[in-house]
């Protein structure tokens, strides 16, 4: 473990790694054998250059000084070797086993900076940061510049630490199904400090260092392994799992919206991804679906136990793509809760973007911030059990918007109410202190009064009157509740949660009318058909079940041609169509009139934050995390209706 100095090497006692060769000739022979092996076995794909480039090898540029054997540099992936960074000639940062360490070449001492094998919790609060932190992060890439250290992980983790500050500033996971392959810290074309993170999910993301927010986004047609920004910040070299590299404009990115005309021209798909080089979009999709099939938890789906197998006919005839708004960044806070998009009309969409509730106008293509949850939210009105001091930095777990009423639930039981036609916030309350708000539904009770129902994973479902914001009912069940749906007549309530068996209960008394048996895992979605006779439940077993209240002994239909958990279900107001969203990439639209036989499959790339039909059934909006907002328009038999806005 002794270090090796230049004097040791000059004496001839050992080489620069401290190896004691009996003679210099023996060391040279070993090196020649290794080189011959590589020439025979590792040079299969040698490019034939037009002009052979020859070099003159000399030992005259850098001289050996020191070999520190007391430190053990490490890496996690054979393809990723960016684990050593020098901020000065005396300060070196590198990965050593599970830790980022500092080596001082001046004092020959090692200092641990950050241990990734334990639990890392950020001490600062930022939008999209994970307050619960990360545990046992396997670091795939490291980057250090000046006083800033960034680490990327095998599961998309991103950890930011300032070397002159205690603790960690930021912990996030921009993607959940890809490795962080490269991180570069530099200045943008405008001069602002930022960093670029590349992933093998074919995405390159640019973040602003002041806010840690996504400032640009690039999606390519191959896994990206490395990127390099030009000194002027204008051009970006992108290389990856393809012989053909790319030089792209670093300023444009994926911020421009995509129209139906852009897609019809064939230049790009409706996420703006240009598939002009291999691999094709179809090939990438097939690879991902194959991965999903191989990794799905349920090889024997619950739907396969149904008495009658349900087959669908897939057609692209129900809703047509209209617009993809990439200037807006939909987001969510909990992997299991995806109810963050609500349309109050075909011209008004409300959704969560980073730490804010925002309004998107498809008519003018403009975004307006409605409420910033990252700051201090204080109610302007006085109500019993309201918190006059308000909340600071609320992590929104679920959202609900109807007419002029917006409600947000938090990861710590917070409940925030705002009228869209009034300034400020009307109510800040916390019905429970030890549970997540999993679902909020705004509707009319059986008496006709406007109310909202809030569900929590403390097994409680609470009903509030909108006029007074007072608790009007409180039901306690024997399972953590993930979603509730009230029937159109206000008499029955569907309850699903962390139990395969759901429940249908009386909304006035909380008495269980019937259990719902058939699923094999936790459920996160439910919805009533407007006829009040049928409803649907979505489960982590990759199935959606359709139920009829006239016979609840078993489901009448099982929709199981999916690749992931069902996270959201929505019916159109006329009951003609039902949309079913998986946790990423796929939304299925079914023609209810056909008996759920006619199906349209909408596929894209990204995790789904929520979806919503407009009340007039004309539009379907889908939030894609860190990517944009998709808009589809209902297809009509008469072309003149398609031209209407």
Return the pLDDT at 619: 97
DSSP code string of 334-399: STT----EEEEETTEEEEEETTEEEEEETTTTEEEEEEETTSEE-BSS--TT--TT-EES--EEEE
Q: Residue 106 above 90 pLDDT?
A: yes
459 and 594 both lie in a single domain: yes
606 belongs to a structural domain: yes
pLDDT 10s digits, 481-505: 999 999 999 999 999 999 999 999 9
**Minimum mean pLDDT among 27-41, 95-109, 439-453: which range?**
27-41
pLDDT 10s digits, 315-374: 888 999 999 998 888 988 888 999 999 999 999 999 998 789 999 999 999 999 999 998
Given 255, 275, 308, the domain boundary residue is 255
Please give the residue range of the domain that contains residue 10. Answer: 1-30+64-70
* Highest-pLDDT range among 26-30, 304-308, 309-313, 593-597: 593-597
Take residue 289 and report the two structure tokens written for it. Answer: 């679906």
Q: Residue 377 above 70 pLDDT?
A: yes
26 and 84 both lie in a single domain: no
Q: Residue 642 above 60 pLDDT?
A: no
267 belongs to a structural domain: no
**Minimum mean pLDDT among 50-64, 347-361, 385-399, 455-469: which range?**
50-64
Q: Distance between CA atoms of 381 and 573, rounded to whole angstroms?
A: 33
Return the pLDDT at 340: 96
Q: Residue 598 above 90 pLDDT?
A: yes
42 belongs to a structural domain: no
14 and 136 both lie in a single domain: no
266 belongs to a structural domain: no
455 and 323 both lie in a single domain: yes
233 and 352 both lie in a single domain: no
Q: Distance between CA atoms of 324 and 620, rounded to whole angstroms?
A: 12
- Mean pLDDT, rounded, for 242-264: 78
Return the pLDDT at 306: 46
Overall number of domains in the chain: 3
How many C-beta atoms surround the C-beta of residue 400 within 10 A? 21
Q: Distance between CA atoms of 557 and 543, rounded to whole angstroms?
A: 10
- Mean pLDDT, rounded, for 541-566: 92
94 and 4 both lie in a single domain: no
- Mean pLDDT, rounded, for 127-146: 90
Q: Residue 565 above 50 pLDDT?
A: yes
265 belongs to a structural domain: no
Q: Distance between CA atoms of 118 and 456, rounded to whole angstroms?
A: 30
346 and 199 both lie in a single domain: no
Residues 6+ apart with CB under 8 A from 608: 338, 567, 568, 581, 582, 583, 584, 585, 587, 622, 623, 624, 625
Q: Distance between CA atoms of 105 and 83, rounded to whole angstroms?
A: 17
- Mean pLDDT, rounded, for 595-619: 94
Percentage of residues of the chain with pLDDT beyond 90: 56
Residue with the bigger pLDDT between 56 and 643: it is 56
268 belongs to a structural domain: no
298 and 240 both lie in a single domain: no
With b for 16 or more beta-carbon neighbours within 10 A and e for fewer, the 157-182 pattern comes to bbbbbebeeeebbbbbbbbebbbbbb
Return the pLDDT at 307: 44
Given 70, 89, 124, the domain boundary residue is 70
Residue with the bigger pLDDT between 170 and 29: it is 170
Where is 565: in which H helix or E strand?
none
**Please, what's the largest Cα pairwise distance for the chain?**
97
pLDDT 10s digits, 535-549: 999 999 999 999 999
Return the pLDDT at 89: 94
532 and 594 both lie in a single domain: yes
How many C-beta atoms surround the C-beta of residue 195 within 10 A? 21
Residue with the bigger pLDDT between 37 and 321: it is 321
Return the pLDDT at 458: 93
Take residue 425 and report the two structure tokens written for it. Answer: 């916030």
56 belongs to a structural domain: no
18 and 136 both lie in a single domain: no
Return the pLDDT at 637: 74
Return the pLDDT at 303: 42
pLDDT 10s digits, 262-290: 888 877 788 877 765 556 778 877 877 77
Return the pLDDT at 24: 57
Given 70, 93, 122, the domain boundary residue is 70
Reported confidence tier of residue 302, pLDDT bands at 50, 70, 90: very low
How many C-beta atoms surround the C-beta of residue 68 within 10 A? 17
182 and 291 both lie in a single domain: no
pLDDT 10s digits, 463-476: 999 988 999 999 99
- Mean pLDDT, rounded, for 17-36: 70
Return the pLDDT at 50: 62
Helix (H, G, I), strand (E, B) or coil at 6: helix
Return the pLDDT at 634: 96
Q: Tell me the average pLDDT of the chain.
A: 87
Helix (H, G, I), strand (E, B) or coil at 261: helix
Q: Distance between CA atoms of 526 and 544, rounded to whole angstroms?
A: 9
CATH for 364: 2.130.10.10
Return the pLDDT at 571: 98
233 and 318 both lie in a single domain: no
Reported confidence tier of residue 411, pLDDT bands at 50, 70, 90: very high
Whole-structure pTM value: 0.69
Q: Residue 46 above 70 pLDDT?
A: no
Return the pLDDT at 131: 86
CB burial of residue 585 (10 Å; 0-12, 13-18, 19+): buried
115 belongs to a structural domain: yes
């Amino acid at each position: 473990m002794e270090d090796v100095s230049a004097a040791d090497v000059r004496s001839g006692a050992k080489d620069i790694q401290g190896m004691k060769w009996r003679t210099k000739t023996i060391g040279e022979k070993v090196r020649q054998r290794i080189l011959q092996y590589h020439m025979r076995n590792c040079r299969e794909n040698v490019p034939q250059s037009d002009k052979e480039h020859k070099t003159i090898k000399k030992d005259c540029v850098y001289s050996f000084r020191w070999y520190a054997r007391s430190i053990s540099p490490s890496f996690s992936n054979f393809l990723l070797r960016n684990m050593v960074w020098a901020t000065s000639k005396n300060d070196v940062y590198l990965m050593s086993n599970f830790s980022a360490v500092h080596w001082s070449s001046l004092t020959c001492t090692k200092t641990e900076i950050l241990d990734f094998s334990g639990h890392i919790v950020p001490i600062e609060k930022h939008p999209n940061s994970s307050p619960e932190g990360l545990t046992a992060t396997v670091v795939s890439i490291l980057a250090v510049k000046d006083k800033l250290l960034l680490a990327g992980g095998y599961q998309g983790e991103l950890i930011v630490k300032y070397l002159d500050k205690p603790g960690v500033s930021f912990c996030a996971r921009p993607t959940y199904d890809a490795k962080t392959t490269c991180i570069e810290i530099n200045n943008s074309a405008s001069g602002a400090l930022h960093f670029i993170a590349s992933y093998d999910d074919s995405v390159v993301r640019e973040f602003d260092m002041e806010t840690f927010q996504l400032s640009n986004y690039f999606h390519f047609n191959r896994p990206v392994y490395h990127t390099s920004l030009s000194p002027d910040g204008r051009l970006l070299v992108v290389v990856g799992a393809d012989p053909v590299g790319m030089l792209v404009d670093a300023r444009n990115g994926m911020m421009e919206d995509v129209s139906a005309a852009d897609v019809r021209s064939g230049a790009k798909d409706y996420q703006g991804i240009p598939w002009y080089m291999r691999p094709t979009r179809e090939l990438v999709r097939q690879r991902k679906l194959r991965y999903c099939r191989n990794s799905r938890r349920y090889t024997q789906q619950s739907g396969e136990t149904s008495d009658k197998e349900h087959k669908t006919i897939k057609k692209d005839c129900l809703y047509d793509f209209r617009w993809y708004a990439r200037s807006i960044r939909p987001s969510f806070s909990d992997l299991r809760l995806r109810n963050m998009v609500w349309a109050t009309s075909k011209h008004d969409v409300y959704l969560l973007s980073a730490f804010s509730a925002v309004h998107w106008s498809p008519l003018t293509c403009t975004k307006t911030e409605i409420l910033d949850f990252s700051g201090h939210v204080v109610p302007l009105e006085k109500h019993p059990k309201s918190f006059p001091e308000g909340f600071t930095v609320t992590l929104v777990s679920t959202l609900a918007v109807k007419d002029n009423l917006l409600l947000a639930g938090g990861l710590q039981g917070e409940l925030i109410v705002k009228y869209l036609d009034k300034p400020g916030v009307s109510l800040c309350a916390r019905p429970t202190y030890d549970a997540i708000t999993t679902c909020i539904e705004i509707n009319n009770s059986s008496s006709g009064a406007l109310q909202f129902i809030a569900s929590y994973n403390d097994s409680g479902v609470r009903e509030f009157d909108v006029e007074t914001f007072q608790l009007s009912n409180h039901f306690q069940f024997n399972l953590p509740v993930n979603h509730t749906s009230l029937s159109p007549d206000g008499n029955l309530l569907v309850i699903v949660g962390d139990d395969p068996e759901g429940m249908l209960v009386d909304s006035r008394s909380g008495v269980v009318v019937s259990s719902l048996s058939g699923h094999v895992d936790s459920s996160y979605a439910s919805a009533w058909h407007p006829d009040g006779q049928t409803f649907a439940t979505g489960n982590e077993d990759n199935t959606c079940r359709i139920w009829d209240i006239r016979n609840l002994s078993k489901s009448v239909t099982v929709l199981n041609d999916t690749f992931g958990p069902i996270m959201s279900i929505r019916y159109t107001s006329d009951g003609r169509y039902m949309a079913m969203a998986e946790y990423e990439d796929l939304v299925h639209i079914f023609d209810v009139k056909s008996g759920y036989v006619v199906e349209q499959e909408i596929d894209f790339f990204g995790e789904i934050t929520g979806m919503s039909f407009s009340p007039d059934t004309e539009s379907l909006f889908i939030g894609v995390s860190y990517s944009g907002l998709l808009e589809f328009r209902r297809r009509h038999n008469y072309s003149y209706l398609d031209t209407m806005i």
